[in-house]
Structure 1
């Protein structure tokens, strides 16, 4: 009797396990692993956002929406011929009246730091433009030079001195530029304040003075803040449109920030070979590239029919699904561009879900059943 029990006990255990396996397999096959609305959600999908299949029509609609966002009016920022520098409050002027050296010693000594001086804190001799934009000069009196170019300011001074000096020969130039500044921050080598001088302060000039872009800089996300307005500049997009970034003129008070590529990551998880966070390539990353850089869909546990993209949009969460087993799916995956902070998720196959569920219910049951069934 003892021998009989030893002989039939594995068979009974095998039958029970097989019945549980069949029930679990039927349950998993019927339910699958699709993203569905939870119980109690209404017909309009109030509980979970609807899933949109990735098709050629959806890709075209996404492309048109992306182009509308990129078509920000930057025409007033682009200047073909930058205007000459205009004198402003705080500037220090060097004024020389030839054959009249007695007029050269009446300039005021600047008490603040000279931005362009080689020695920090070294005062620059010259005529300081006061906060009202005026300069006091012998015989000429008070001159309003703010808003004038060097040539216009020289002509005004000559006309005043002509009342007392016959044919005055005057040289006037800006010795220290202190009235206009911009600030550049972010992924540049030398962030900080930059003084606007006689060389036009364009976007490329500002980036060059800041030492250039860091390797981690995102050329597609350069923010320009001016007068409480924000402009998003994509250097690559400007070049593709035939706009020279060197013609984007910066003005006094502008703030330029170069964002990092680490701020625009895409997260790939689920049944892929190597789940990871991916960095976008200057604002560009397709679904196909994201899957490829993650090693692709796992051939053992991944379900190629259920590749999801979860996106947080202003109107709410959006979910896109790609059936990678369809004809032309790879071409659609290459054309589907991801957004920063997108989540790419590959669901598990029904067989993988069944195996995991069984392993949780009966740890080692499948291995024992297969071993018991062997002769």
Structure 2
């Protein structure tokens, strides 16, 4: 018995594991980084073949990567902020396949071509696909400093209405977000005379004259080069100019009547260290020509929590230089951008005091303050004011220590009583300066429009009048001079319309002229009236659009069009008019609105009905509403039913209408069919048979269906008229339509249930009484 229980339990356990095993595998796989095969092969190739790497940012720069434990994780803000790309190399580095700090230069590193190649790949990590951005501007996220200033700027934004508010960014850091080709590796770098030689530098010595030869020598670890016949020559520590003179002096001892030239070949690399608040701290192998700026670009630049104005260069445990990157960015000054030497340390300390400026300024941003500055200095640092800057309203949003914020309003155009100016106010850490815009409205103009040669806005000059503004030569020939309108806005915000007769004003010099005031709107109407036209389409000898004269009739235009063609079907003519279309549209909308209101009232009255009664009535109302929409959508608006005939008979008849602008007359060819529509068994078109009545065509359509409403049949003639009654006696013409509408009936049988209920209750009552009696 126990063995059976154990066997059954074991099988149940195996089934559960078999079911859950794929799920566990999915969870397990989702927690591990997935490496594409193409990316894995790419990095294996890099690891095996890359023996000497070059940084993409500094001449000859390579980075000796820090230990894997110091690498930032993919989720760290520093890794994302520096714009570094997550590649297979970073995954391998976390597994120990990296260059440790202090490793030999020949160990595998990451070169520029590989970085550019890896930037177009996609790595999958934690079941999420991360698109590696291409080379160029990396996505920029707000730092904690920028977020704090954004909170203030959103509450005190001077942005124009409807214009998007741009977030303030820290000045200078965006230059490190893109790969600058200026700092890419260069083979032939011009070397100045002050370049100091060292081990690894290559010299090319060319001799011509009594002998011709070229010697390529590399400075060895002892600082010497070897010249034939002469022997070793020590050049370590000499600058390029001194070394050239020394080599020429040695050559002159053994050779006569010659000339020589000394140039630099491949330059040596040096190892320097970049630490502090930088994107990628560590040891870097860079060209001996590299400066502080080149090294910063190689390391991805300082973080936004790092200083750009107090970058320190240390050499042999001594401070060599304080480099202010703002000097380079704002003034192009690189005088303090010293050339680096082996073993130098570049330290980027945390950022110092900061202040932001926004609004009508040329370069709104958040700036680092190297020393206490005043508001005028910050404006100069931001590029200066714009023409729209309003100096009478400048605000400083200041955050008090351990307290609330305060607003300081300044007028930079006036000096204080003690002789000081608001421009001299010293800024504090975290201040935000807002330069508000001037009033965008214009107050000293008036407007001219209408039949004027040069309409537009004009300046209101002192004493300017209508006679001066509208001389005869300024108007168009069709200008209406008897009534020129001036719309004037009063001080109480009401409007006044002034009418002027320009003819009288021009003819009578003593006529009272009117002075122009700001915001006057002067309108000169036109006497020009656009010609009216009618369009003839279909079976006319010369169809087209014809210009009509006032009072011209339809027969006149038909004659101008050359009369009808021989195949014209006059009974099917369609005449539409714009004015009728507008009126019918208004009437149709009003009818639909009233009908909808009636249906709505009926729906509200259903609240007192029983549930079954209410559902039946709601269905009926829904069908009526649907039928109303269908009818409204199929109504032809603007059509006037006319009866065309030969031009001789039509001319002068009641159907010979006086034409209006936009009228359209369409005359089709004679049709050969009669349509049968609606509730018949086979609604379609049938060939016209002369002399046949309506019953013939209904029979051809299979007769009435069960839903046909026989009492509502009507005949729709080709000219648009509808006929009812005595339809069997009516003549059927080509193009006519026989319409059989459906019968809509909703029978309410709920009263039968009510009667049955009452009858049942009555029967029970009588039965009970009979039992009691």
Q: TM-score, normalised by structure 2?
A: 0.20
Q: TM-score, normalised by structure 1?
A: 0.37
Larger RCO of the pair (alpha carbons < 8 Å, separation 6+):
1
Q: Which has the larger radius of gyration?
A: 2
